[in-house]
Structure 1
Amino acid sequence: MNIVYLVFGNNIENYQQAHFSIYTALLFKNAGDRIVVVTDNTQLFNSFGNHIETISINNDVIKEWEGEYQFFWRVKIKALQLVSGKYPSESILYLDGDTFFYHEMDSLRDGMKNGQNYMHVEEGKLSALSSKTERLMWKQMNGKTYHSIQIDKNSAMWNAGLIGISHKHFSCLDLTLGINDAMCEDGVTRRLVEQFAFSLGLNEFSALKPADNIVGHYWGNKKEWNEIISNFLKECFMKHYSLDQIIQKVKEIDFTQIPIKVKESSTQRKLKNFIDQFYKNRKPLYINK
């Protein structure tokens, strides 16, 4: 099984998240699993040595992967096609950076070996979801067909923070890409297009199962997790921990004590943004050469 990450761009927090997730993967993987990082900055993963494999991409590749409609998250589909082409007999367990393993992954590995596909968790039927984006998507797509898949009241949206694809069903990536591009061509609002395309494409080959009992996804509390991870990595660097020591330190973390989702006050956020606009630091002082 290949445990795959995709990290690119200049936001250092994305790389820190991926590092932490990889440490948790190293804690639970078995000897036959391979960790693969597709990235435009392989040097930021040098500390892992031969414990992981990096696949280098660049801005030209990323721009090409965005496709005719220049859709940013189309890159995720193309990256998984790249890995599946390189290792056609090994299932893929893709993870967003803002994830962590907290249980053994044997059931995922065995399930994919037997043809089962996974995504992190079912968020609900698109027709019943309540966010502004999801309501708009349902209005735009209800009853339409995209690359042979019809959208109806039973079409479900799954969270794409984890994507598990059996090596028996890699052709579902072609279907996912076709659905994604057809939705972009139709002008569907874009924020969740790639996620919904994966949900439909993978489910067509194998009724999806969740994996949130094995992998945590803190997309709903990134601010707190980013601070925790940043402090964790600083300590590891300053104490010059070996990789084995870092993994042991990860093993000691009680993940049940850190929320993966919190309800942020929209009023507080708006007030903070309002105040920040009017009260900015002034008269910066610099040293002279």
Structure 2
Amino acid sequence: MTDTILYLVFGNKREFQLELTYSVLSTAHFLRSQEIRIALACNPANRRPDLPVEHLVVSDAELNSWITQYKYAAKAYALGLGLERYGGSVALLDTDTVFTSNPRDLFRRVGPGRSLMQAEDGVLGDHACWRDLLDQLDGPVEGCDVSSKSRMMNSGVVALHESDKAAVPAALGLMSALHAIEPIFNIEQFAFTAALEQRGELAACDDVIWHYWGHQRRFAHAQLGALFPEFDKDTFIRHLDAPPPIGMPPTLARARARLLQLVRRCDGDYRFAYIASLCAVGERNNEWAHVTLDVLEAMEHLPAKVTTDFGRFRGERLDAHAWLSSAARQRWQAFWSAYGQGRSAMHAEIGS
């Protein structure tokens, strides 16, 4: 029976479509003529005729019913639908995943009583967001022991054989029960882990699939936006033989940012903003210019040397960047204006 790689997409964010395109590209790059199905569970608006995928279309009404209580429950519903439709072994992948070796290597490890998730993610006690929920428990939940020592794995990949499909409704029941106690964002990760562990062996597959997040995801989005300005078959095919690497900034930019972090004693967000600014100027890329601002604007406190570190986007130097879009230019001008007003207010308060 044909094994299936299944993706789920809903919502209208372009970033998810960019991630999906590259993940499918990494899959198709290895597979070519090999018989592994690539399927996409989606509502009608998210069909992707430009990609080599079989569509598993879900009505808007059904999709909305999946996410009414808890958004990520949709992953379990999609996985259950995929197992019902296709049988065999099904691997549900998040869109921000990339195959680093042949998908066959993944499916060789999946069978009755043998399931996979993307990577180990410690135990519940390692995650501060779980502490309030754990404090409220006085026994098993849906037949599962839930404690600070309970194992949790990353759900960027959830792969199982059809003979273990009962794990899906079990995971959904556990999600619902736990979410009613405390609405933690990653409840589905633990629910999948617990349900699959009850039915056999559960292992990681991070040697086969890379799951990117955090700052790497920001880099990936900017890079993918440049790779796929439009979604069309020709662009996809052009990158099929050698998918360009994503997720990491240039080595020199990383080195300069690391030195800056040591000198300024700043945090990782500030370092990332500095790397993004170097990429913006080096590549004349408006996306990087916006990403830099996204990070700086989200920070509660900025080092006093921010005007020096990001001076390339200030005053006359900002005006000299002819490649910069008017929207990006206006954002930078507004940022510096707000920063100046904030500094003036702070000094006035100190002076009084």
Alignment of 1:149-228 (within 5 A): 149-185=144-180, 187-220=181-214, 221-228=216-223
Matching residue of 2:10: 8
The answer on 1:25 being equivalent to 2:80 is no
What one-letter code is carried by the residue in structure 1 that aligns with 2:182? V
Give deviations 1:86-138, integer Å, cap 9, x for gaps. Answer: 123x11111101111011222321121354101111110112x1x43133343
Shifted more, 264-273 versus 25-34: the winner is 264-273
What one-letter code is carried by the residue in structure 2 that aligns with 1:214? V
* Aligned-partner SS, 1:34: strand
The answer on 1:139 being equivalent to 2:135 is yes
Q: TM-score, normalised by structure 2?
A: 0.67
Alignment of 1:59-98 (within 5 A): 59-66=60-67, 70-88=69-87, 90-98=88-96
- Of 272, 276, 279, 2:297 maps to 272
Q: Distance in 1 between matches of 2:98 and 2:135?
A: 34
Matching residue of 1:286: none
Q: TM-score, normalised by structure 1?
A: 0.81
* Aligned-partner SS, 1:2: strand
RMSD over aligned Cα atoms: 3.1
What one-letter code is carried by the residue in structure 1 that aligns with 2:60? N
Q: Is the 8 A contact 1:42 1:54 kept in 2?
A: no
Q: Distance in 2 between matches of 1:136 and 1:271?
A: 31
Q: Distance in 1 between matches of 2:61 and 2:211?
A: 30
Give deviations 1:174-210, integer Å, cap 9, x for gaps. Answer: 211111111123x223211111111111111123111
What one-letter code is carried by the residue in structure 1 that aligns with 2:188? E
- Label 1:173 to 1:234 Cα distance change in 2 as closer, same or farther (>3 A): same
Q: Is the 8 A contact 2:116 2:160 kept in 1?
A: yes
Q: Is the 8 A contact 1:66 1:73 kept in 2?
A: yes
What one-letter code is carried by the residue in structure 1 that aligns with 2:58? I
Q: Is the 8 A contact 2:4 2:89 kept in 1?
A: yes
Q: Is the 8 A contact 1:36 1:54 kept in 2?
A: yes
What one-letter code is carried by the residue in structure 2 that aligns with 1:279? A
Identity in percent: 21
- Label 1:43 to 1:271 Cα distance change in 2 as closer, same or farther (>3 A): closer
Matching residue of 2:43: 40
- Of 106, 109, 125, 2:107 maps to 109
Provide structure 1 residue ranges, at least 5 long, that are not aligned to the other structure.
283-289
Matching residue of 1:287: none
Q: Is the 8 A contact 1:17 1:229 kept in 2?
A: yes
Provide structure 2 residue ranges, at least 5 long, that are not aligned to the other structure.
251-257, 259-266, 274-293, 303-330, 338-352
Q: CA deviation at 1:241?
A: 3.0
Q: Is the 8 A contact 1:15 1:44 kept in 2?
A: no
Give deviations 1:43-93, integer Å, cap 9, x for gaps. Answer: 641112xx31111223311221235xx2111111111111111123x1111
Q: Is the 8 A contact 1:4 1:38 kept in 2?
A: yes
- Label 1:257 to 1:193 Cα distance change in 2 as closer, same or farther (>3 A): closer
Report the count of equivalent residues: 267
* Aligned-partner SS, 1:123: strand
TM superposition outliers: structure 1 runs of 4+ over 4 Å? 254-259, 266-271
Matching residue of 1:58: 59
Structure with bigger RCO (C-alpha 8 Å, 6+ apart) = 1
